[in-house]
Structure 1
């Protein structure tokens, strides 16, 4: 009896619980529910199918009154149910915009996915998930959908209504995707914060930057020098050579502004504050047709365009300068970003400053004389401002400004030919830039961006010789303005079509004055050019293709130049992929290099503009093909490349030979192979890179006509080892070894010749000799610690050239009658052993 009673009681409870569960937790589509309710209550709902689409709610209890039914529907949805009479009920939006939330988890392990991207499709609304995988968005259009993505996982799309209808934060699961190409094909390589983009570009995320040998901060231009195919024959960031090209052949963009000045301390550190620059993309070949100029590479720096509505910032110092940055929310749709940096080298002389200064001014006028006394005053600063304003969900306006400046005043007393000489020199370099842009999402598929910028670069140098009472000045000014309209139409998730129209004007002025004898000259050139570009991008599963063409018209020369660009990536399987890139590009500006005993005697570069005759438009054509392998955090990449650049002149190559002042036009041709292998584990990242290249000039007036390029580095190898002792303590150790650069010696037995009233060095055939191999080992370490949950800090220590090797990076000859052959060799050396330290606080 007891067993039968218990069985009966349990069955009764099951029936009751099932009935209750059906009444209280059963989910049903609102569109189906309304149809059944019309029959049950003999009423008629008036609504739009679009409004109730995708809404899932609980089934109401049976037998409740109409008033309670409508109250239930109003509570469970974001719609308003209102009776017109005893039979008709209207259904309308209660709010057009609602708040949503969710938790993004990995489907297999249920682990939260930190920093997943959450974007409202068709609107400028988005966020990322927190440490628990959670996100929250307010004022989201109810009829929209959101896309949730994470590197290596399939993108999930879900309607906003579905998220709201659960009346709580829904769990969303992402599945791994081993086939589909994401925007970043290699999440991190070499160090955290360095990534390979889907188009082959190298992307530096400064916020996530890890550690590299010798670096104590994410110096933007120093960091990219670790990439294969990127060199700097004289160690400076103002002379970055990509696949054998000169520095003036790199297009340098900061938030859409073309910059003509790249380095502080005459190129030893980057002029761009990395702590407000969020993303840097480096492209060597296969460039988007949206970019012109830069026949060797494009270096595109971008600051944040997202309003965070959160006060954040940071400050820090190293042994050269101090800096700070802030992101200040003004309103929900208005935010202000500011950064500033200034050296204190005019107040304090640190060991780092002393080594940098000696390295920069090896070539001053005392290089061939006896120095008695010198005094210097040097400082640099840079600052940037940005305003972000979201007009509404589809329109956003941003405006930014940047100012970079170097200032040097130098007094020296030296003995020349048994005569005491006092010389005062000054050198000022600055670059101002401003940009405004309006981004509009007209619908989910079509968007436009209208932008305009100006860039104003100046270098002003002066030299006063007190003994001869001679005062000389040189001035170089570049003023560029541009208006650009870009549009993008997404046919589907895989096809994107972009078009653009550009109007650009460049003016360059060069002025030289001397008071004794009286002399003055000013040359000013202006060039107006227009361009139209079109580009089709396809990305699906294992294939990425970008094909574009750019048509340039030069009004002054009445000339068209058509430039096709192509970039193809094909994954053969989950491990192997192939890549093909090719492009034609042009540029109308170049740097003329002056070597003079006055003006500190240092190498000065003055921008000049093409006249299509003596200074032609520089044109390049290049192609590259390669393969990549990626598995178990092992990444291998090998690429062969070919590049030819026409229209270069002898004046912008920095020759030390008898024809350095000839107005000769020539070309250079480079070909080679780049190789990179990187292996990562939980705590270790180690890599080896190697580049082989052959780079030759061809100039008709030279003998021989074809000879080694001054930037020809035949072999270049680097290796490094990063180790994370803990999450807080990291160390990086590495070295660089490369072939010495070519240089020219005088003719043996006839080292000097007469040129009018002057005696000059009689150089032999150009670039026949090579400097000794370059070798350097660097080390750095970093330690993170937190003052609180909000205030985080980092201390970094770096040592450059820890073996203190005396590397010769350049060599030339000067006339010296006291020498046996009437000439004396002058060598330029790399940085000696140099320490540096940085400390930062972020909040």
Structure 2
């Protein structure tokens, strides 16, 4: 995938070139000064650095010299003074200036009282007339103005300064998410919020700090929420209310993604410094979304054209990254980013622990391998997005994302007669292309046309010296989709949605062996259609979203109707009730193959349903909860019941007697989630607890009902964030939960013969539990100004501060020295793992 790197380099070059060629009615101030010098035969005295980067409209040639000086003084923050008819001095004004303005609704033309005006770490609000004033603002400062239900705007201090002290009128546009307002603005930490519909939102630009984290990584952050676990600490194994990771619908800028983690699950595959907002929904999902019978994780990047060139760069113990927002014209912008691991360049304590954790149960770290070995691992990702606003009514967006993990593994074998070198490789990639057209046809009716293409590949070449055997494997997913949403604002309180979606998904699985010669290739294609509609109502204390989705699976000629409901009713100033329910389906799943794995590192591969031994998975879920919110104390208690049908034994990763059986069944998860969060100006503290019971049911197995692999009966987390001052923050938190279930061999009869193969003879499935899991994490964050325009942030975090030795998985294998006995294999969690990051944003 070298061409992926070239795509990134070309985009960077094109963006820079286009930015350099940006057309503008204004001309550089230095050129204006030269023109005035020729016109009036005068000489300007100034420092070059004081005028560089400043552009203005050229003054009229009919003005006198003094009138020209007055014009320049009114346009820029410099003092032009004519000493005589020959010389003019130019000096810089004070480094701070007063700014003021009045904030209005663009649609209603009414003042917005209580709008937030943010300058650096200081903030004020507008008065009842929408007016604000700030006396001393740095010339280079950026001023952000926001108001609930409206799209925020940013201005430079220069834009809001007027030499005549005429405060400007500033207009904010109504947000498309007006009905889906923020319910809790600070949820555990700044930047983590809760919407009225119960979804959790991560705003990465406003992210504060969470224990152990050095970045606003949503796939790590959501694990602080009740009902969300990762039984093996992996981003690629997030269990939402007892579901498997492949049951989480992952969407990046409207592109469906089939891959979630770098470093085989320890690092998010999505650059958290580029992703502006992430919405996580566990239940009551909008009918716009299908697939993902456990949850929907919807990621969004910047969607607004800015006239300001901005960006940032950072480095930590695992990777380095850079992103740029490049305005081309007033209505055209290119955003680009790139991130690459530094793990193949130098070792860090973070990398050492990640490496040990990732490869402990693979050929690369096999204890039985006596040959000399060498392995090189690296990853990178990149994105690019074109934002074009034809006018205020029509917006066009096009984007690309590329994700890559690469592993090279070399074995060296030598004896008295000869020496051999055999190389094995593993490549894991996901690339996506997308585009959409938003059109606002009038004040009530708008549409959004979305299209995307997603491709996922994992390829492995495994050369085994001891058998002189070459094994090659491949898993490929190709998906093309198109969606049309039509929104109609029926009243001030009621929004209607209707839409159609089509996607075509193809999957390939291939295995070849040279000795003995063997080849297997399987391809499947599905075409699915979806029609959906919903109504969203929000007035005063009542919120309701109700709708239905009709899915048609062309290959099976099968129809599925999926009703959805989401209700929230405020009973008083403090108490509210909520009810959520949904039917969902899923047509792609991952099977887990312990024999044909990819170098032992990746054991999962994507397959499509065939409506026979792999049926369409369906889920039915309901939840009911009570919320308390008073004096910045939020308490949420929710009970849930979920049943998922159509799961297969091959996608559960069984280490028991059902490991190689083909069967499909269901699981039922039910429980209670509790979260209490208290915030104030300087701190946020929380405690969460989940009690759940999660059981499988397979008719053809004996026993037919037994605990789920993700049956974690008790799980709790607690934490505290404390702002020592506006720049220095500390976060400490811990996680405790029951150990996950596992199966032991039958005592006295540990192995059994199956033809020529000796296998482990397991006892009752998942009848034992690992020891409890416990981990304490800490983080610190310090913000500073590197220069007037560059903001720096230094973060450090330690996962598993007390170095607990947690076992996260246990299974057994036949002892090669005595086939009547078994060997216990324990996979362990990360030990104490420090990390540090430095970022610069401008």
Scaled by the length of structure 2, what TM-score is found? 0.80
SS of residue matched to 1:443: coil
Displacement of 1:813 in angstroms is 0.6
CA 1:109/1:644 → structure 2, altered by over 3 Å: closer, same or farther?
closer
Aligned to 1:69: none
Aligned to 1:664: 663
Aligned to 1:144: none
Q: Distance between the aligned counterparts of 1:603 and 1:414, measured in 2? A: 25
1:465-480 alignment to 2 at 5 Å?
465-480=464-479
SS of residue matched to 2:613: coil
Are 1:338 and 2:336 counterparts? yes
Are 1:463 and 2:462 counterparts? yes
Aligned to 2:147: 150
Aligned to 1:208: 206
Displacement of 1:533 in angstroms is 0.3
1:16-31 alignment to 2 at 5 Å?
none
Aligned to 2:57: none
SS of residue matched to 1:473: strand
Displacement of 1:662 in angstroms is 1.0
Aligned to 1:445: 444
Q: Any idea what the Cα deviations from partners look like across 1:108-135, whole Å, max 9, x if unmatched? A: 999872269xxxxxxxxxxx9999599x
Q: Distance between the aligned counterparts of 2:260 and 2:764, measured in 1? A: 33
Asked if the contact 1:740/1:772 (under 8 Å) is kept, the reply is: yes
Q: Any idea what the Cα deviations from partners look like across 1:25-56, whole Å, max 9, x if unmatched? A: xxxxxxxxxxxxxxxxxxxxxxxxxxxxxxxx
SS of residue matched to 2:117: coil
Aligned to 2:786: 787
Displacement of 1:374 in angstroms is 2.6
Asked if the contact 2:101/2:133 (under 8 Å) is kept, the reply is: no
Aligned to 2:258: 260
Aligned to 1:15: none
Asked if the contact 1:430/1:457 (under 8 Å) is kept, the reply is: yes
Asked if the contact 2:675/2:686 (under 8 Å) is kept, the reply is: yes
SS of residue matched to 2:599: helix
Scaled by the length of structure 1, what TM-score is found? 0.80
CA 1:815/1:733 → structure 2, altered by over 3 Å: closer, same or farther?
same
SS of residue matched to 1:721: strand
CA 1:438/1:131 → structure 2, altered by over 3 Å: closer, same or farther?
farther
Aligned to 2:397: 398
RMSD of aligned residue pairs (Cα, Å) = 2.9
Asked if the contact 2:315/2:839 (under 8 Å) is kept, the reply is: yes
Asked if the contact 1:220/1:272 (under 8 Å) is kept, the reply is: no
CA 1:549/1:181 → structure 2, altered by over 3 Å: closer, same or farther?
closer
Asked if the contact 1:115/1:130 (under 8 Å) is kept, the reply is: no
Displacement of 1:701 in angstroms is 2.5
Are 1:540 and 2:543 counterparts? no
Aligned to 2:216: 218
1:67-146 alignment to 2 at 5 Å?
102-104=101-103, 113-114=116-117, 132=134
Displacement of 1:105 in angstroms is 10
Aligned to 1:61: none
Number of residue pairs matched? Answer: 701
Are 1:804 and 2:818 counterparts? no
Asked if the contact 2:677/2:685 (under 8 Å) is kept, the reply is: yes
Q: Distance between the aligned counterparts of 1:645 and 1:396, measured in 2? A: 39
Asked if the contact 2:506/2:526 (under 8 Å) is kept, the reply is: yes
Asked if the contact 2:339/2:380 (under 8 Å) is kept, the reply is: yes
Q: Distance between the aligned counterparts of 1:110 and 1:591, measured in 2? A: 52
SS of residue matched to 2:721: strand
Aligned to 2:706: 707
Q: Distance between the aligned counterparts of 1:129 and 1:295, measured in 2? A: 48
Displacement of 1:151 in angstroms is 3.8
Displacement of 1:346 in angstroms is 1.1
Q: Distance between the aligned counterparts of 1:209 and 1:300, measured in 2? A: 17
CA 1:630/1:412 → structure 2, altered by over 3 Å: closer, same or farther?
farther
Asked if the contact 1:115/1:129 (under 8 Å) is kept, the reply is: no
CA 1:152/1:341 → structure 2, altered by over 3 Å: closer, same or farther?
closer
Are 1:583 and 2:582 counterparts? yes
Asked if the contact 2:411/2:465 (under 8 Å) is kept, the reply is: no
Aligned to 1:274: 272
Unaligned runs of at least 5 residues, structure 2: 1-99, 120-129, 137-144, 153-164, 173-177
Aligned to 1:314: 312
Asked if the contact 2:683/2:721 (under 8 Å) is kept, the reply is: yes
1:147-186 alignment to 2 at 5 Å?
150-151=147-148, 169=167, 183-186=181-184
SS of residue matched to 1:656: coil
Are 1:351 and 2:354 counterparts? no
Q: Compare 800-809 and 816-825 and name the one that shifted more.
A: 816-825
Displacement of 1:777 in angstroms is 0.3
Aligned to 2:245: 247
Asked if the contact 1:595/1:602 (under 8 Å) is kept, the reply is: no
Unaligned runs of at least 5 residues, structure 1: 1-100, 117-127, 135-147, 156-166, 175-179
Displacement of 1:233 in angstroms is 0.3
Displacement of 1:222 in angstroms is 0.6
Asked if the contact 2:264/2:601 (under 8 Å) is kept, the reply is: no
Q: Distance between the aligned counterparts of 1:129 and 1:380, measured in 2? A: 50
Aligned to 1:759: 758
1:225-624 alignment to 2 at 5 Å?
225-365=223-363, 367=366, 369=368, 371-412=370-411, 424-596=423-595, 599-624=598-623
Displacement of 1:302 in angstroms is 0.4
SS of residue matched to 1:225: helix
